Amino acid sequence: MRKHSRRFTTILKKIEKNKIYNSLEAIEILQTISNVNFTETLEAHIMLGLDPKYSDQQLRATVILPKGTGKLVKIAVVTQGDKLQEALELGADIVGSDDLINEILSENLNFDKLIATPDMMLSIAKLGRILGPRGLMPSPKAGTVTNDLKNAINEFKTGKLEYRLDKTSIIHLPIGKLNFSAVDLNLNLKALQESIDKNRPSGSKGKYWKSLYLSSTMGPSICIDINILRDTKLI
């Protein structure tokens, strides 16, 4: 039998077992029961009726959280020529060309998101073994391979997140800090739900959403009613 700490057991009693909650109520509960000495992150864990072994059932996309993530995102840009200075002026934290590629090859990954201009992709290809497993490999679909550095840097700084289905058919994504208002966190969750529905793979058959749980960094998970969330209107 799985054992929990006294703290966790106490807060677990405040959640009704086997109840499916509406998302706003669940967020408010997680905010109320949080009793650690740091600001926890709200996490969404979504199981979908997809089999990522098949190419037409894979899901990788991006979502812009309307209320942001509450996290300072450190962005690195691999480019060359005039765009090196442009990237710095636009707010990139780390900028480089072959020198930055060599740093990454040495597994110096002091950034949260890597953006590359298309003319650097041949040079970046050799970084796949390092960046791929960490979900950091630039990709046009994720908006991280682009010549529009202004838009890309701004979006990722203000709340754009990339998500992908893992090998167990689950998406795990942080959607804000617990010190956000419950309404704002719910708006972020709603934006994620709409994005996942919009990007439903062509090979998806049967029930698409199997389950949705919300949890905080150190808190329990709460099962969410996806139908109520779908009926929520974004403000």
178-219 pLDDT, tens digit each: 999 999 999 999 999 999 999 999 999 999 999 999 999 988
Single pTM value for the model: 0.82
For 98-147, the pLDDT digits (tens) are 999 999 999 989 999 999 999 999 999 999 999 988 889 999 988 999 99
Distant-in-sequence, close-in-space partners of 113: CB < 8 Å, separation ≥ 6? 73, 74, 75, 76, 136, 144, 156
Sorted by where each starts, the structural domains of the chain and their CATH numbers stand as: 19-69+160-231 (3.30.190.20), 75-158 (3.40.50.790)
